[in-house]
Amino acid sequence: MGSFDASIGHETYLTVLTVRFYVTLSLFVVGLIGNCIILNVMNDSNFSTKSRRILCSSLAVTDILLLLFYLLMSLLEMMFWKPIYSIYQVLCKIYLPTFYFVVHINSWILVFLTFERLIAVFRPFNVHDIFSALRVKGAIIILVAISLTWNGEQVYRYDLIKEGNNSVCMSVNDYNLTDFMYFKDFMSEMLVCVVPILIIVPSNIALMVKMYKNRKQRQQLGLNTARVQNNSVKFNVMIISVTSAFVIFGLPTTLYAFITNYDLSGVIDEILLTIGFCNPMVNCYLYCLSGDLFKKQVLNDIKKILDRFTRKKDNENKNSVRSVSRRVQ
Residue 188 placed within a domain: yes
Residue 74 placed within a domain: yes
What is the SS3 assignment for 166?
strand
Residue 319 placed within a domain: no
Q: Whole domain around residue 107: which residue ranges?
A: 3-301
CATH number where 181 lies: 1.20.1070.10
Q: How far apart are the first and last CA of the chain?
A: 76
What are phi and psi for residue 167, nearest 5 degrees?
-125, 145
Tell me the β-bridge partners of 162: 167
Host H or E run for residue 16: helix 10-42
What pLDDT score was predicted for residue 202?
Answer: 92
Residue 146 identity (one-letter amino acid): I
Q: Convert the pLDDT of each residue in 128-155 to its tens digit.
A: 888 888 888 888 999 999 988 888 877 8
Q: What is the DSSP letter of 266?
A: S
Residue 288 has pLDDT above 70, yes or no: yes
Residue 284 placed within a domain: yes
- The rounded distance, in Å, linking the Cα atoms of 151 and 96 is 9
Residue 315 has pLDDT above 70, yes or no: no
Q: Convert the pLDDT of each residue in 13-63 to its tens digit.
A: 667 677 777 878 888 888 888 888 888 888 776 667 788 888 888 888 999
Distances (CA, A) of 167 to 86, 92, 162, 303: 6, 10, 4, 51
- Please give the tally of structural domains in the chain: 1
Q: What is the pTM of this model?
A: 0.78
Q: What percent of the chain has pLDDT over 70?
A: 76
Residue 327 placed within a domain: no
- The rounded distance, in Å, linking the Cα atoms of 69 and 77 is 12
Residue 309 placed within a domain: no
Residue 238 placed within a domain: yes
What pLDDT score was predicted for residue 176?
Answer: 60
Residue 329 placed within a domain: no
